Structure 1
Amino acid sequence: MQFYSATTDLWSSRTMQPYLSLTVHYINTNWTLRSICLQTAYFPDNHTGEIIAHGLKDALSSWGLSEERLLCMTTDSGTNIIKALKDNNWPSLQCFGHRLHNAIENGVKDPRIDRAIGVCKKAVSAFSSSWKKRRDMTEVQAELGLPQHLLISESPTRWGSRQKMIKRFLEQEKAITRVLGADKNHLHQVILFPHGKIWKY
């Protein structure tokens, strides 16, 4: 390929091990856009802009990619990754999805929304920490003809995970209400959600 663009991201595994990913994008001779993840490398060093800059330079070099042919590198809005690209003097573009996520987060800062999200999180936590509730949930789902899906936890670093958590919560609302309502060891209080009722746990 004559020229290419790239995306990179720092992320943590489920065991909280840090990794640096690198994906390249290019148009081949048939005018087809191709994207190839070249590496997801263990990155235990401090995540300063300077160290990330060196890590990215090494990554391109190890794949024989010329910095001069890099048209643009897309990243999230992290200050350290932005500094790394500036240090390398590489053209950069912030990820639209990440900027949209941040805009939505800022746009929904409202006590009522925070309260509803808090209810969802507490309910999800109640089921994730109790195998009995998960067992009961499966039985109730079968009785109600609901999909046998697990609840989804929100992860601040996973874009859209809050929306997925709420969507799954609403899908399973009747089952959640039945299981938590039958729990005599805790006091439950019903509060209003925009479309109906959910349990405050």
Structure 2
Amino acid sequence: MDVLLEISYFPTPHTAKAITEGIKNAMQKWEIENLVVSITTDNGANVVAAIRDLIPIKRLSCAAHTLQLAISKGLKVVENLVSRTKQLINFFSTQKQIERLIKVQKEIGYEEPLHLIQDISTRWNSLYLALDRLIFLQYAVLQLSVNLSCSLISEEKTDGIRLKKIMIKDNEWELLDELCNILAPFEKATRDFSGNTYVTLSQMFPIITDLTNSLKPPDNSYEVLEDSDDNTINSDIVEEESLQIEVDYSNISEVLKNVKNKIYLGLKHYWAMPDEFGIMAALLDSRYKDLNFITDEETKVKIHSSLQIQYDQLKREMQQQTSTPPSPTISTISTTSTSSTPSMRSLHEHQEKRQQKVKKVFQTKESSTSSSAIADEITTYFLLPVARENKNPLDWWKSKQEIFPVLSIIARKYLGIPATSVASERLFSDAENHITAKRSLLDPALLGKMVFLKRNMKTMDHINIFPPDLDVKNNDYVEDEHELEELLDE
């Protein structure tokens, strides 16, 4: 689940320094300065610079935003067709044309009349959804064009002429259909990345690898990707005057090849350097721990070494907190016989007990591996079979917390990181819904409280999400959402 901690008025200018100070103030208010390990953002230059100043916090690029950047490279190949298709869709944006299209759908046997979908540049996948819906309603659109052109009513005939003028060609319908087949996996990937009720970061690189491999040219022949602005995605990729330019799309296979090639190069470009946090999350996700999506053995060795270092450090810290007098170091324990001091014998017995739990829970078979190696959490973790794809990794670690007391803490650190900044984008949409005509003069602080309560309503029953400086208990809130709205309106 995601929880809203802070939403507040942020005056201009939105400089990197101002953003840095705003984030620091929010973390200090919630007393989480030492708990935040990463922040996921888009590629805006001011935001990137702001997070860079928050050492040691690491910035992660929004996977959905970066994925759309790669897709936009391929769409440039068909930019003229895409723009003319948008023009066709816009024809059906008025209520009059919507009603006509629905009527035709009923006449020719569509089970459930549907509207066409407008492409919105700020919404991921909206172009794919718009094209896919247009393909589905193709016969209704074509039939309506015929009906209007043959009508004896002057207004309808005029609309028919307009519609016929912007109608796409037969081979272009086929090209759009094939284009949707290419974009469909990316639409699913974007949705998978954007979830807020399950782990997303660990599946980012496996999914990107699958997408890249599906587009890889069989002969490894591809051009060099041209540099461009990576901060924004321009959905209106063609100027108005270029709509008049005639582009030949008759060679559909060649056009599709070029589209795939450009998207492939985009994926290779934007994910050329795998992010350590993303790989670590996959390593600690029992579904992807084999790292089969990585071909570079050196990268695998580095990430395993990084995990071992973090594990050893955290284990020492936990031992120092719980042992009095301080327990011997890990290296001393591993080289000392079981007939030494009582504290050492106790630790050995503890490890033996832990090993028996592993065998009981997972039915681990006996092997030639030494008992000291199996007792190590990391070794034990990688000896276990890969989990099923539908297994929730956080649930997996929660059920094995007693077996992996140290490793489970590290796993939660990485698996809780979101792959996208979609949650904050949705937050602003929610805030806009509260600023209605009747609430246009809302005080920013009051608006922040309203959104805070609305967004965290379902979370209050599980955890205390109020700031430390507020003396509020978990049960001190209004349970009924409609009652809350009435109180806020007052």
Query: Structure 2: how far apart are the matches of 1:197 and 1:72?
Result: 39
User: Residue type matched to 1:184 in 2?
Assistant: K
Query: Structure 1: how far apart are the matches of 2:96 and 2:125?
Result: 29
Residue 135 of structure 2 is aligned with which of 170, 195, 199?
170
Partner of 1:102: 69
Residue 28 of structure 2 is aligned with which of 57, 61, 84?
61
Partner of 2:391: none
Task: Indicate the SS of the match to 2:25.
Answer: helix
Deviation at 1:149, TM superposition (A): 2.2
Query: Structure 2: how far apart are the matches of 1:136 and 1:55?
Result: 51
Q: Does 1:135 align with 2:102?
A: no
User: Residue type matched to 2:157 in 1?
Assistant: K
Work out which of the two has the higher radius of gyration on C-alpha atoms and give 1 or 2. Answer: 2
Matched residues, percent identical? Answer: 27
Query: Structure 2: how far apart are the matches of 1:43 and 1:197?
Result: 42
Deviation at 1:148, TM superposition (A): 2.2
Distance of aligned partners of 1:120 and 1:55 in 2 relative to their CA distance in 1, 3 Å threshold: farther
Q: Does 1:193 align with 2:172?
A: yes
Aligned 8 A contact 2:117 2:133 in 1: yes
- Where does structure 1 lack aligned partners over 5 or more consecutive residues? 1-33
Deviations 1:89-147 (A, max 9, x none): 3211112221111011112311xx1122112211221111x211011111112223333
Bigger RCO (CA 8 Å, 6+ sep): 2
Distance of aligned partners of 1:65 and 1:127 in 2 relative to their CA distance in 1, 3 Å threshold: farther
Distance of aligned partners of 1:145 and 1:103 in 2 relative to their CA distance in 1, 3 Å threshold: same
Distance of aligned partners of 1:122 and 1:67 in 2 relative to their CA distance in 1, 3 Å threshold: same
Normalised by the length of structure 2, the TM-score is 0.30
Aligned 8 A contact 1:133 1:179 in 2: no
Deviations 1:150-185 (A, max 9, x none): 211112221111111111111111222223441521
Deviation at 1:78, TM superposition (A): 1.7
Alpha carbon RMSD of aligned pairs, Å?
2.6
How many residue pairs get aligned? The number is 162
Aligned 8 A contact 1:76 1:95 in 2: yes
Partner of 2:314: none
Task: Indicate the SS of the match to 1:136.
Answer: helix
- Where does structure 2 lack aligned partners over 5 or more consecutive residues? 149-155, 178-242, 244-490
Residue 48 of structure 1 is aligned with which of 4, 15, 28?
15
Which structure has more strand as a fraction of its residues? 1
Partner of 1:144: 108
Task: Indicate the SS of the match to 2:76.
Answer: coil
Aligned 8 A contact 2:131 2:176 in 1: no
Query: Structure 2: how far apart are the matches of 1:97 and 1:197?
Result: 23
Normalised by the length of structure 1, the TM-score is 0.69
Query: Structure 2: how far apart are the matches of 1:66 and 1:197?
Result: 49
